[in-house]
């Protein structure tokens, strides 16, 4: 549209730079923000600013926290001898929501990605090795994504941690629960057959 004011165009552009928001949603959100009361817009803006100011990375596991050390690392009820390695904070959130895991975490903040020139030095891998080197770790569960970058990151970490003689595991790949075999992609299906278990 030629007649869209530049200011609104700019707002739509900024909003559509957020993940998962296409141009249509961005337009809808921009118009919604412009229809909000001044006080509500102020609240939105302040929440963004305050959260950004107060939230930082946990110095142990690199989870996000507004405290000195994150709640998971500070919790004595969790098993501090098991570290689950994830690519992103959102993966940590997803595993926490499942409610199954009681160990601690290590967030890499990415995966090795040769195509985009992301190398091990760009990730929190050195810090993971330092944590393991301090001792008292029994197992490292590598929960990087089951794709090319996640796989090479897992292999790289496995190689680095080998000298410490701890248990190193990778989360299982296979058919997601509740799905149907004829909808599964062929790679997942091949993996599920290859990794079959006796019952």
Instruction: List the one residue from 18, 133, 172, 193 that touches its own copies (CB under 8 A).
Output: 18
Which residue from 79, 80, 83, 131 is spatially nearest to 105, judged by alpha carbons? 83
**Residue 31 in the binding site for its own copies (CB under 8 A):** yes
Instruction: List the one residue from 16, 69, 80, 89 that touches its own copies (CB under 8 A).
Output: 89
* 72 versus 168: smaller Cβ distance to its own copies: 72
* Cα–Cα distance for residue pair 7/12, rounded to 1 Å: 9
**Residue 68 in the binding site for its own copies (CB under 8 A):** no
Instruction: List the one residue from 49, 81, 179, 190 that touches its own copies (CB under 8 A).
Output: 49
Residues binding its own copies: number (CB under 8 A): 52
- How many angstroms separate the Cα of 141 from the Cα of each of 6, 8, 38, 136, 172? 50, 47, 48, 15, 10
Residue 10, SS3 per DSSP: helix
Which residue from 107, 92, 163 is spatially nearest to 133, judged by alpha carbons? 163
Binding site for its own copies (CB under 8 A): 1-8, 10-11, 14, 18-21, 25, 27-34, 36, 38, 41, 43-45, 47-52, 54-55, 64-67, 70-72, 75, 88-90, 93, 96-97
């Amino acid at each position: 549209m030629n007649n869209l004011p530049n200011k609104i165009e700019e707002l739509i552009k900024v909003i559509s730079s957020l993940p998962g928001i296409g141009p249509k949603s961005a337009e809808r959100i921009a118009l919604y923000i412009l229809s909000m009361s001044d006080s509500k817009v102020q609240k939105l803006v302040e929440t963004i600013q305050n959260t950004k100011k107060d939230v930082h990375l946990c110095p142990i596991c690199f989870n996000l926290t507004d405290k000195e050390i994150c709640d998971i690392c500070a919790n004595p009820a969790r098993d501090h001898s098991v570290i689950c390695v994830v690519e992103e904070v959102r993966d940590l959130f997803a595993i926490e929501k499942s409610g199954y895991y009681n160990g601690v975490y290590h967030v890499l903040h990415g995966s090795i990605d040769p195509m985009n020139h992301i190398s091990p030095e760009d990730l929190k891998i050195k810090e993971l090795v330092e944590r393991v080197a301090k001792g008292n770790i029994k197992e490292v569960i590598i929960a990087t994504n089951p794709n090319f970058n996640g796989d090479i990151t897992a292999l790289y970490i496995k190689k680095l941690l080998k000298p410490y003689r701890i248990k190193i595991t990778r989360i299982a790949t296979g058919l997601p629960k509740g799905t149907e075999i004829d909808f599964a992609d062929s790679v997942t299906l091949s993996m599920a057959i290859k990794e079959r278990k006796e019952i």
